[in-house]
Amino acid sequence: MKRRSSRLFVTLFVCVAAWATAFGAGVADSQALPRVQVTDVRRVFHNGEHNAFTDLIRFRDRFYLTFRSCPDGHAVYPTASVIVLESGDAQTWEQVHRFSVPKRDTRDPHFLVFKDHLFVYTGTWFCGDSAPEVYEMNQHLGYAITSSNGRAWSDPIMLEGTYGHYIWRAAAHKGTAYLCGRRKREFIEAPRSDRSVVESAMLESDDGLVWRTKALFQTTEGNETAFRFEPDGAVLAICRLTGDNALLCRSNPPYARWSRKDLCRYIGGPLLATWGDRYLVAGRKTAGAPARTALSWLIDGELHEFAALPSGGDNSYPGFIELSTTRGLVSWYSSHEKDDSGNSITAIYLAELQIVE
């Protein structure tokens, strides 16, 4: 018992020490934290399938929402597809595109506005004709669709340079696009359960379609990572870890060296966005309660939670649009509601966020 208490004390000490170290991310800690109201919570899509992994963006004065939909559920199936919805007011939504990749599971779609086009990126698992009993990370392959107007879309385009990488969340800075690419070290053959050999690379592209490795920022337990570039080219990253933790990482061009610190909490499906002069972090939290999609401010390397969205069970993977410096729109998926027969559904939700000073 004493040994367990000592180990817990050491863990808490490390976290507190990490928080006490200034990391240079977010506004000054002397600035009062604003109060945020979550309003107009609404379910915007449910078709009887498993709907999950959202993203939001504004393009040519229209709103776009994307997510994965699969009749067979959360796991890896070739029946999965990506849906894109469009809206003029973020209230009424219309499906403008749906695509799949033959013999592959499409999931985790993310938007990027790049070179005057709207891109949707998706990581894919190879399945064959049915759900595989064993699926290999080394058979990952990224795909994208593009549109100049949000209505007419390209066919799925295979992304050169992404084979063996699971791509996740896109960002752009000064004419270059970036992706997180999760892969096995030297593409070795190892059990998928061995997370120690999984690393995360920063991939870059000049056209959004042909990719190359720019930097390696996680050498073990590589996982979902959200990038956010500052005007001077410095990049912040929120990195999900396999266990009960997440990392805040930072690097300056040419991104050869990275600073890392523990955030001392788990963040599933992480989002990192700017809202006014603050950083917003969102994702699934599991500590202290059933899993919820939580929203936090990131200030001087610390997370300050300000809301937990209506959610439960299979949930998270949020998207965010800044409507103004005091208003925002957030998307997420969750399985906390039931249908008329009492069965859980997994649906897509939206809510508005209002800063109350």
3-state per-residue secondary structure call for the chain: CHHHHHHHHHHHHHHHHHHHCCCCCCCCCCCCCCEEEEEEEEEEECCCCEEEEEEEEEECCEEEEEEEEECCCCCCCCCCEEEEEEECCCCCCEEEEEECCCCEEEEEEEEEEECCEEEEEEEEEECCCCCCCCCCHHHCEEEEEEECCCCCCCCCEECECCCCCEEEEEEEECCEEEEEEEEEHHHCCCCCCCHHHEEEEEEEECCCCECEEEEEEECCCCCCEEEEECCCCCEEEEEECCCCCEEEEEECCCCCCEEEEECCCCCEEEEEEEECCEEEEEEEECCCCCCEEEEEEEECCEEEEEEEECCCCCCEEEEEEECCCCEEEEEEEECCCECCCCCECCEEEEEEEEEEC
Mean pLDDT calculated for residue range 333-351: 96
The pLDDT of residue 30 is above 70: no
Q: What is the pLDDT of residues 119-172, one digit of tens each?
A: 999 999 999 999 998 889 999 999 999 999 999 999 999 999 999 999 999 999
Q: What is the pLDDT of residues 82-107, one digit of tens each?
A: 999 999 999 999 999 999 999 999 99
Identify the CA nearest to 329 among candidates 33, 48, 105, 41: 41
Q: What pTM, to 2 d.p., does this model score?
A: 0.91
pLDDT-derived band at 181, boundaries 50, 70, 90:
very high
Tell me the pLDDT of the chain averaged across its residues: 91
pLDDT at 10: 35
Query: CB-based contacts of 343: which residues, under 8 Å, 6+ apart?
Result: none
Structure tokens at 307: 């809301």
The pLDDT of residue 23 is above 70: no
Of all residues in the chain, the percent with pLDDT exceeding 70 is 91
The pLDDT of residue 243 is above 80: no
pLDDT at 25: 52
pLDDT at 31: 59
Q: Which of 223-237, 259-273, 284-298 has the lowest mean pLDDT?
A: 284-298
Cα distances from 206 to residues 153, 260, 289, 301, in angstroms, run 20, 27, 43, 31
pLDDT at 242: 75
CB atoms within 10 A of CB 188: 9
Identify the CA nearest to 109 among candidates 148, 139, 149, 153: 153
Q: What is the pLDDT of residues 280-326, one digit of tens each?
A: 999 999 877 789 999 999 999 999 999 999 999 999 999 999 999 99
Structure tokens at 189: 């053959």
Query: Tokens 């990482």 correspond to what residue?
Result: 249
